Amino acid sequence: MNIWDKLSSIDRRWIFLAMAIFVSWPVLKPLGLPVTTTKEVESLYSFIEEIEDKKPIILALDYGPSTAPELTPMAKAVMRHAVSKGIPVVGVSLAPDAPGVANDIWKWAEEELGAIPGEDIAYLGYKAGTTNVILQMGQGISKAFPKDYYGNNTDDLEIMEGFESLKDASLVLGLEATAIMDLWIQYAGDQMGVPVAGGMTAVSAPEAYVFYQSGQIVGLMGGMKGGAEYELLVGAPGNAVQGMDAQSLGHIVIIVFIIFGNLGFFLGKKGQDVSRLKSLRGDQK
Amino acid sequence: MKTKLPVTIAFLTGLFMAFAYFVERDNVAWVRILYEELNQNNIVLAVFVLFLGVGTLLIRHAKKIRDKNSDSIYSWVVIVSTLAVAYIGLFQTTGESIGANENFQWIFNNFQVPLSATMFSLLAFFVASAAYRAFRARNTEATLLLIAAAIVMIGRVPIGSVISDSLSLTGSFSLPAIAEWILDIPNTAAKRAITIGIGLGMTATAIKIIFGIERTYMGSGK
């Protein structure tokens, strides 16, 4: 077995070890790689910056703990921005494992940002029914959520003054790990005319570019990078900016191993056998 | 009757919901009231689906335990943890909301968060291993996919800018700009085609259900 054959048959445990080392290293010793902003995130920032009538932002937290490292920095950065501008934030969830994550974010906003529950922020909790819940919010917020997550009557909250239905919101920001984003766009955006924006996991984000181009969403944050960009725009680098070094090296590790695999495939015995077979087939034709 | 009744209900509700979508509901009282009522009923149905899911899960695992399956220890874990969380949610929140129940949040933070984070973190390792074994430039299509994936992976993280600067790739030729172009143009074109295709397919299926041509949802397949 020559070196090229060895390159095409590396034991996967070496790949796991390399990944572990290169992802852990920048966490222990940050590299400080520069994060640049993209137009999709900048347009969301500008949209929130230009909200003048102090109508609430609906923060749809439709994700569980598995995708929290990607999406929670987005939620915190947007909440920081909104609270600093005096824009109320009302949270809802259409995913059953979301309230635990949202509860931690709401406690963080109270402690870190000094947001007053019921006045600056409110979390209404989870309700089953996805599409129908969005439609019901269009008929009346308190129809869909008569009480908030903490047991208060929704209509009694100060934040709800003048905020009767979803149509009164200044923006719906969907933080999504699933296809619920499409429903916010279809019903809140296209049907009710409420501006919609997205914060999605890196895997799902490419699917939303089509909606950004068509103007159906006013901004898009994709993966941890999107969160890092927003953190920089609000001037408060946090977990997402810190995580970008680890993600950079993780991607480099994957690409290096892909290159190894291809070198082994083309220059090793197996690859040469395949090309010989192909040329033989060509000769037969 | 067993067939006619569900088909009639599907026909009437389907036709009404399509009609209600295009009508100014606030101006037509009966449309608004019926629409809101159907919406509310759908939410109630969704809650029953959750019950059905939990019930099916428990029955399936109870059967595994009864049959003394070799993996029945895991079925015990599923049943005990489901019932424990349900007990805390249902019986320890009397007079208060689930949000004020600290035990519930404690279970979430100390069980679900680390377990979900562990499962999702493993993806980094398995994706690396799978990419190494599967991403081979065997033909033109695979080569294009490989190049596009590599550019997007590098261009979407900060090290992409560093590599571009060190190779003097600026403006439209920098890795982040090329990654952005791939996402904006080829990705969007493909996604739009898929979305429109799905939309047309959904419309066709909806029409078939409304007019009783498609009846497999009743379970008979006829």
What does the pLDDT look like over B53-63, one tens digit per residue?
A: 999 999 999 99
Q: Which residues of A touch B113 (CB under 8 A)?
A: 65, 68, 100
pLDDT tens digits, one per residue of B133-169: 988 888 999 999 999 999 999 999 999 999 999 999 8
pLDDT tens digits, one per residue of A104-113: 999 999 999 9
pLDDT at A285: 47
CATH number for the domain running over A39-237: 3.40.50.720
Distance from CA of B55 to the nearest CA of A (A): 17
Predicted complex ipTM: 0.82
Minimal-distance CA residue of chain B relative to A125: B99
pLDDT tens digits, one per residue of A119-160: 999 999 999 888 999 999 999 999 999 999 988 999 999 999
Of the residues B159, B194, B198, B202, the best mutation for testing chain A's interface (the one with the most A CB atoms within 10 Å of its CB) is: B159
Minimal-distance CA residue of chain B relative to A12: B129
Mean pLDDT of chain A, nearest integer: 91
CA distance B191 to A243: 29
Q: pTM of the prediction?
A: 0.87
Q: Which residues of A touch B100 (CB under 8 A)?
A: 150-151
CA distance A180 to A188: 12
* Contact assessment for residue A75 and residue A59, using Cβ atoms and an 8 Å cutoff: yes
- Look at residues A123, A203, A202 and name the one whose alpha carbon lies nearest to residue A157: A123
CA distance A187 to A135: 7
> Which residues between 53 and 72 in chain B have a beta carbon less than 8 angstroms from any beta carbon of chain A?
none
User: Pairing state of beta strands A57-62 and A196-200?
Assistant: unpaired
With CB atoms and an 8 Å threshold, state whether B46 touches A130: yes
Half-sphere exposure of A269 (CA within 13 A, CB side): 6
With CB atoms and an 8 Å threshold, state whether A254 touches B153: yes
* Contact assessment for residue A48 and residue A78, using Cβ atoms and an 8 Å cutoff: yes
Distance from CA of B68 to the nearest CA of A (A): 31
pLDDT at A16: 96
How many CB atoms sit inside 10 A of residue A61's CB? 29
CA distance A59 to A89: 7
- Look at residues A257, A236, A256, A253 and name the one whose alpha carbon lies nearest to residue A245: A253
CA distance B89 to B77: 18
pLDDT tens digits, one per residue of B115-143: 999 998 998 899 999 999 988 888 999 99
Distance from CA of B67 to the nearest CA of A (A): 32
Of the residues B157, B175, B178, the best mutation for testing chain A's interface (the one with the most A CB atoms within 10 Å of its CB) is: B157
pLDDT at A270: 65
CA distance A180 to A186: 10
The answer to whether residue A221 scores a pLDDT higher than 50 is: yes
Give the rounded percent of residues in chain A with a pLDDT score beyond 70: 94
SS3 A85: coil
Q: How far is CA A227 from CA A38, B25, B184, in A?
A: 11, 39, 19
With CB atoms and an 8 Å threshold, state whether A128 touches B49: yes
* Contact assessment for residue A252 and residue B159, using Cβ atoms and an 8 Å cutoff: yes
Of the residues A21, A41, A132, A263, the best mutation for testing chain B's interface (the one with the most B CB atoms within 10 Å of its CB) is: A132
